[in-house]
């Protein structure tokens, strides 16, 4: 069974993109798809087994349908916890290399979920940002919106930027990150009414990781 690939972006850094990506991996695996996750660029990595590795990328590696080398999941791993264009240590991110890495991964899976770094305009190098990578890969975008104070503005601005880039947006996921947020449902409904692509699911707040539960929160039939 063939699938589609998606680029996962967020309204900011720390909005829950990785949890959303792994939830989507479980969603597609439940449909008997062979699924792989990719985090092309990661900063704030730690030395493990003789090389720099990123906690989020390791999650994507563990939850794939197939065994993958770490480098296949995370080609660019930087130690400093700063923007990738400042952390590259003389190894600047190249979009053309990432396109080849994506194609290699695509040969192994029905569905490849590519998680961006930071928000839509987070810089990857002096020349390119996340938006440039998404445009180069030519796959639909799923926008992760952290449901917290300011989310309506952030969601609308990010969606407007995706539209301006003429990239297909498959929909958005509401990631509930603030258990004490007032009018949470009303905020989600407002975004739903202001954005012209479907709400794909509302992922509930949780203290620990339960990706099967999060996957159940993704609306079936919205993603082909």
Q: Catalytic amino acids?
A: 39
Tell me if 144 sits within 8 A of 16, measured CB to CB: yes
Closest CA to 23 of 43, 5, 37: 37
Cβ neighbours around 40 below 10 Å, total: 26
């Amino acid at each position: 069974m063939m699938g589609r690939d998606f680029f996962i972006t967020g309204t900011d850094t720390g909005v829950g993109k990785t949890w959303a990506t792994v939830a989507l991996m479980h969603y597609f695996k439940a449909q008997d798809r062979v699924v792989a996750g990719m985090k092309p660029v990661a900063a704030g990595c730690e030395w493990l087994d003789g090389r720099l590795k990123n906690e989020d990328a390791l999650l994507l590696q563990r939850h794939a349908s197939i065994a993958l080398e770490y480098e296949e999941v995370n080609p660019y791993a930087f130690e400093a916890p700063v923007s990738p264009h400042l952390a590259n240590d003389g190894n600047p991110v190249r979009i053309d290399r990432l396109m080849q890495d994506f194609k290699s991964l695509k040969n192994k899976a029905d569905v490849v979920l590519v998680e961006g770094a930071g928000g839509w305009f987070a810089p990857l190098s002096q020349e390119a940002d996340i938006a440039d990578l998404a445009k180069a890969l030519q796959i639909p975008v799923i926008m992760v919106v952290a449901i917290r104070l300011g989310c309506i503005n952030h969601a609308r601005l990010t969606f407007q930027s995706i539209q301006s880039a003429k990239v297909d947006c498959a929909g958005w996921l509401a990631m509930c990150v603030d258990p004490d947020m007032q009018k949470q449902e009303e905020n989600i409904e407002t975004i739903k009414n202001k954005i012209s692509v479907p709400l794909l699911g509302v992922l509930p707040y949780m203290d620990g990781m339960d990706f099967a539960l999060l996957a159940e929160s993704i609306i079936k039939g919205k993603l082909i």
